[in-house]
Amino acid sequence: MNLKKQLLNFGVLGLAITMLAGCQAGPKKVKGDIPLTVIPSGQFVSPPEEYKHIFKNIYFDYDKSDIRADMEGNLVQIAEWLKTNAQVLLKVEGHCDERGSDEYNLALGERRSLSVRRFLVEQGVDSARITTVSFGEERPANPGHDEAAWAENRRCEFKLAQ
């Protein structure tokens, strides 16, 4: 690639960024947010035994909601399964460890669910099929009060419905 072409690409990119920034003046939207449009009426249940190895819990770092690199593989698998089973709806349940305020953790759990949802949508799953629910620190997987328990509790679990 010659230098002139590279510069031209840069210019186009720059223009695109300027246009995007300009768009912010109109109806505002935060980049990456994918609206939740429906509350599914289906009865959500734990994934059947034969799919449990696919719908493994997704774990998070303390006070973080971004998807850890070691969790991406699991999520890619889930996305592929959802794409081949297009009639199935997914509920992502967000949880936190007990540290910090109940209220902040409730919001953080929701954000963890939404991070998982966004990742799956980026893999090509229809956003309308994925709903979220946060339980904050109300439903720990491990009742302990140490780092090992906390690491197990900072998680997203999956429920399925047809």
Partner 1 sequence: MKTPTMKNLLFIVFFIINLVYCSYLFSAEVEITISKQIERKTRLTLLPFYAQAKSQSEFIILAKEIFAIAEFDFKHSGYFQLWPEEKLPEKALDQAKDFENLNFDFWLDYGTEMVTKGIFEVSGDNITIKFRVFDMASRSIYFEDAISGSQSKLRSLVHTITANLIEKVSGRPSIATTKIAYVAQTGSAKNIYIMDYDGYNHFQFTFDDTINVDPEWNREGNAVLYMSYIQTYPFIYMKKLNADKINLISGKPGLNAFPAVSPDGQKIACTLSFNGNPEIYVIDFYGNVIKRVTWTPSVENSPTWAPDNQTLAFVSDMGGTGRPQIYVKNYLAGDDIDPRRITFSGNYNSSPDWSPIPGSNIIVYTSLYGRNSEICIVDANTGDYRRVTTSLESEEDPSWAPDGIHITYTITQNYKSDIYFMDIRDGVPVKLTSSKNNCSSSAWGPSYKKTK
Q: Please answer whether residues 82 and 120 qualify as being in contact, where contact means their C-beta atoms are separated by less than 8 angstroms.
A: yes
CB of 123 to partner 1, least distance (A): 17
Binding string to partner 1 for residues 95 to 134, with x set by CB under 8 A, is what? Answer: -----xxxxx-xxx-xx--x---x------------xxxx
Q: Is 28 in the site for partner 1 (CB under 8 A)?
A: yes
* 3-state SS string for 49-64: HHHCCCCCCEECCCCC
Binding footprint of partner 1, residue count (CB under 8 A): 36
User: Beta strand 130-136 with 89-95: parallel, antiparallel or unpaired?
Assistant: parallel
Which window, 4-12, 22-30, 45-53, 72-80, contacts partner 1 (CB under 8 A)?
Answer: 22-30
Which window, 6-14, 26-34, 74-82, 150-158, contacts partner 1 (CB under 8 A)?
Answer: 26-34
Instruction: Name the phi and psi angles at 31, rounded to 5.
Output: -55, 135
CA-CA distance, 154 to 162, in Å (whole number)? 27
Angle of CA points 79, 82, 88, to nearest 5°: 150
Dihedral over alpha carbons 37, 42, 45, 47 (to 10 degrees): -70
Which window, 1-9, 10-18, 57-65, 72-80, contacts partner 1 (CB under 8 A)?
Answer: 57-65
Nearer to partner 1, 65 or 74 (CB): 65
Restricting to residues 73-92, name those near partner 1 by CB under 8 A.
Answer: none
CA distances from 24 to 18, 27, 124, 158 (A): 10, 7, 26, 35
Interface ranges with partner 1 (CB under 8 A): 24-25, 28, 30-39, 63-65, 100-104, 106-108, 110-111, 114, 118, 131-135, 138-139, 145
